[in-house]
């Protein structure tokens, strides 16, 4: 099939590449000329494991193309995916749909013959109706169907998630569109990936319900970690103890500094707003949102406490800036709250992240970046681990101890064992665990 993808960011690029790898001919469009030039020159504008090789294979096989000209892409396409950003709208937290609607206008002018238009962006319930209205108003005789097909991939594991998803959700009741969607996802369909066909509203809501639930699960275990610290319990064992119950499950029960990233913060906010608009508030998710925001800031207090009550004049080494490992994405990363809060209390910050320092430099001020972990730690008064990259799990602890001015380690991801750390002589603080159990 011939597919167009509008928006070549994390989701558009990964979707486009994977669809090409399924055998479709895919044209990815973006307004960002630099991004498209990078891709055309064989580069990759984001860090995502495995992406570079997959792009180059599919470009070489002439199944994958990049352009800034939407005309090239949409003319003759049987299906057009909208994968543009839906950030929080400034001021009120609703999803900003201006990019989606602008894309719909542009598509309307170009569709030719029966075309399925698919919202892959995360969009509030009712957005598909509005997209349909926009296109119908602009081109009354167009033959098209608007389908919702939310994306559930995780950055850092995006290719595997896209090619081996837990499920594919498709929101349409139109039989022609259902056939097109089955054809697009045929390799997965044959693979017996569950495909859930729903109406458009249900599909739009499933995406927000999934993210709200996962954000709630993380926030639940984070609050439980705080209680563990007060009562001398170990949150990792609590996670295991409850997670082994099949009704609960073990994933998303790692206590930490609060969730960040390009999805959970904005999506929880948006679903809360939508629910209020419809007079059906989601009070649990409202609390999740509030608790998580406060948690990120409270991590700075935790670090200050671990440093003896003050960081004034101290140098703090930060390992990990991205919101999670294996990505360079800094959107809503906990480091963006923690670092300025420490600086406000008089700390100097040194930092290292394997992939996100370029993006971080745009967002954080007065940070001294190092080119590797030990250089970052050298001479610091304390080490703080914010993101659990694999390379930080395997540090030589003897070397860390020698490099630090004082042996203070604050591990916000629980990647080290409190007993080991105590034995080596660190003053070790983690999340929700007694210091030497
Ligand atoms: P992104 O900001 O990385 O990419 C969006 C791209 O769209 C940008 O490159 C921008 O230049 C381009 N764009 C905007 N308007 C355009 C237009 N009219 N024509 C062509 N290009 C245009 O965003 P993202 O992280 O890929 O997210 C896209 C959507 O997918 C969002 O709704 C997001 O919530 C959802 N989503 C993201 C993830 C994730 O992990 N990032 C996962 C699931 C769903």
Q: How many Cβ atoms sit within 10 Å of the Cβ of residue 120?
A: 21
Tell me, yes or no, if 307 is annotated catalytic.
Answer: no
Distance from the CA of 345 to the center of ligand 1, in angstroms? 36
Distance 10 CA to ligand 1 centre (A): 6
- pLDDT of the residue at 264: 97
pLDDT, tens digit, 9 for 90 and up, residues 295-350 = 999 999 999 999 999 999 999 999 999 999 999 999 999 999 999 999 999 999 99
Measured in Å, residue 121 CA sits from the centre of ligand 1 at 7
CA distances to 131, 222, 281, 289, 408 from 286, rounded to whole Å, are: 28, 16, 8, 5, 35
Please indicate whether residue 204, judged by its CB atom, sits closer than 6 Å to ligand 1: no
Please state the atom number of ligand 1 nearest to the C-alpha of residue 121. Answer: 32
CA distance 258 to 299: 9
Determine the distance separating the centroid of ligand 1 and the alpha carbon of 43, expressed in angstroms.
19
Pocket test for ligand 1, best of 12, 27, 107, 134 (most atoms within 8 A of CB): 12
Nearest residue (by CA) to ligand 1, atom 14, is 84
Position 437 pLDDT exceeds 50:
no
CA distance from start to end of the chain: 58
pLDDT at position 436 is 57
- Read off the pLDDT of each residue in 127-146 and give the average, rounded to a whole number: 97
CA of 285 to the centre of ligand 1 (A): 24
CA of 36 to the centre of ligand 1 (A): 14
Phi/psi at 29 (5° precision): -115, 140
* 66 Cβ inside 6 Å of ligand 1: no
| Nearest alpha carbon, ligand 1 atom 27 | 85
Chain-centroid distance of CA 427 in Å reads 32
Write the residue with the smallest CA distance to atom 13 of ligand 1.
7
Atom of ligand 1 nearest to the CA of 120: 30
Residue 39 pLDDT greater than 60, yes or no: yes
Ligand 1 pocket test, pick from 46, 105, 155, 262 with the greatest ligand atom count within 8 Å of Cβ, gives 262
Closest protein CA for atom 1 of ligand 1:
9
With a 6 Å cutoff on the Cβ, whether 119 touches ligand 1 is: no
Distance CA 351, CA 383 (A): 10
How much is the mean pLDDT over the chain?
97
pLDDT exceeds cutoff 80 at 435: no
Instruction: Tell me, in angstroms, the distance from the centre of ligand 1 to residue 263's CA.
Output: 11
Q: Is the CB of 122 under 6 A from ligand 1?
A: yes
Helix runs in 1-126, H state only: 10-21, 33-40, 51-60, 70-74, 98-108
Which residue's alpha carbon is at the smallest distance from atom 41 of ligand 1?
A: 10
Cα(118)–Cα(139) distance, integer angstroms = 17
* Three-state secondary structure call for residue 302: helix
Whether the pLDDT of residue 163 is over 80: the answer is yes
**From the CA of 348, how far away is ligand 1's center (Å)?**
34
Question: How confident is the model over 214-263, as pLDDT tens digits?
Answer: 999 999 999 999 999 999 999 999 999 999 999 999 999 999 999 999 99
Judged against a pLDDT cut of 50, whether residue 401 lies above it is answered with yes
- Dump pLDDT digits (tens) for 1-18: 999 999 999 999 999 999
Residue nearest to atom 38 of ligand 1 (CA): 11
> Which of these, 256, 227, 397, lies nearest to 335 by C-alpha position?
256
Is 10's C-beta closer than 6 angstroms to any atom of ligand 1? Answer: yes
Question: 307 in helix, strand or coil?
Answer: coil
pLDDT (tens digit per residue) in 257-290: 999 999 999 999 999 999 999 999 999 999 999 9
Q: CB of 25 closer than 6 A to ligand 1?
A: no
Give the whole-angstrom CA distance, residue 345 versus residue 338. Answer: 11
Question: Does any ligand 1 atom lie closer than 6 A to the CB of residue 262?
Answer: yes
Active-site residue, selected from the candidate residues 28, 228, 263, 307: 263
Rounded to an integer, what distance in angstroms lies between the CA atom of residue 306 and that of residue 301?
8
């Amino acid at each position: 099939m011939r597919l167009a993808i509008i928006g070549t960011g994390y989701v558009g690029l990964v979707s486009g590449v994977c669809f090409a790898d399924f055998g479709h001919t895919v044209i990815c469009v973006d307004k960002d000329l630099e991004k498209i030039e990078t891709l055309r020159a064989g580069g990759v504008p984001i860090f995502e494991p495995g992406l570079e090789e997959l792009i180059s294979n599919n470009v070489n096989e002439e199944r994958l193309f990049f352009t800034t000209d939407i005309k090239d892409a949409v003319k003759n396409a049987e299906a057009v995916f909208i994968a543009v950003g839906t950030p929080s709208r400034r001021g009120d937290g609703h999803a900003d749909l201006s990019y989606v609607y602008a894309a719909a206008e542009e598509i309307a002018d170009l569709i030719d013959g029966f075309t399925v238009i698919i919202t892959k962006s995360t969009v509030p319930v009712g957005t598909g109706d509005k997209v349909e209205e926009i296109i119908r108003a602009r081109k009354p005789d167009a033959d098209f169907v608007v389908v919702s097909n939310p994306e559930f991939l995780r950055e850092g594991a995006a290719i595997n998630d896209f090619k081996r998803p837990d499920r594919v959700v498709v929101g349409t009741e139109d039989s022609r569109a259902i056939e097109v969607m089955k054809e697009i996802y045929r390799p997965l369909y044959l693979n017996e990936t569950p495909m859930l066909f729903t109406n458009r509203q249900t599909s739009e809501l499933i995406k927000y319900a999934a993210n709200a639930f996962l954000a709630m699960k993380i926030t639940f275990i984070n609050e439980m970690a705080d209680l563990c610290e007060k009562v001398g319990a170990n949150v990792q064992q609590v996670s295991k103890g409850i997670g082994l119950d099949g009704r609960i499950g073990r994933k998303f029960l790692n206590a930490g500094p609060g969730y960040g990233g390009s999805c959970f913060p904005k999506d929880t906010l948006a679903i809360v707003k939508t629910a209020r608009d419809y007079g059906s508030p989601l009070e649990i998710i409202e609390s999740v949102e509030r608790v998580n925001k406060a948690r990120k800031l409270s991590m700075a207090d935790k670090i200050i406490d671990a440093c003896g009550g003050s960081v004034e004049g101290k140098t703090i080494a930060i390992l990990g800036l991205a919101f999670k490992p294996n990505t360079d994405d800094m959107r809503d990363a906990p480091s963006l709250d923690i670092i300025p809060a420490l600086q406000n209390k008089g700390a100097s910050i040194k930092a290292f992240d394997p992939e996100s320092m370029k993006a971080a430099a745009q967002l954080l001020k007065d940070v001294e970046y190092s080119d590797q972990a030990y250089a970052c730690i050298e001479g610091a008064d304390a080490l703080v681990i914010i993101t659990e990259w694999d390379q930080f799990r395997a540090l030589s602890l003897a070397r860390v101890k020698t490099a630090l001015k004082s042996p203070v380690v604050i591990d916000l991801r629980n990647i080290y064992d409190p007993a080991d750390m105590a034995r080596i002589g660190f003053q070790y603080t983690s999340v929700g665990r007694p210091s030497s159990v």
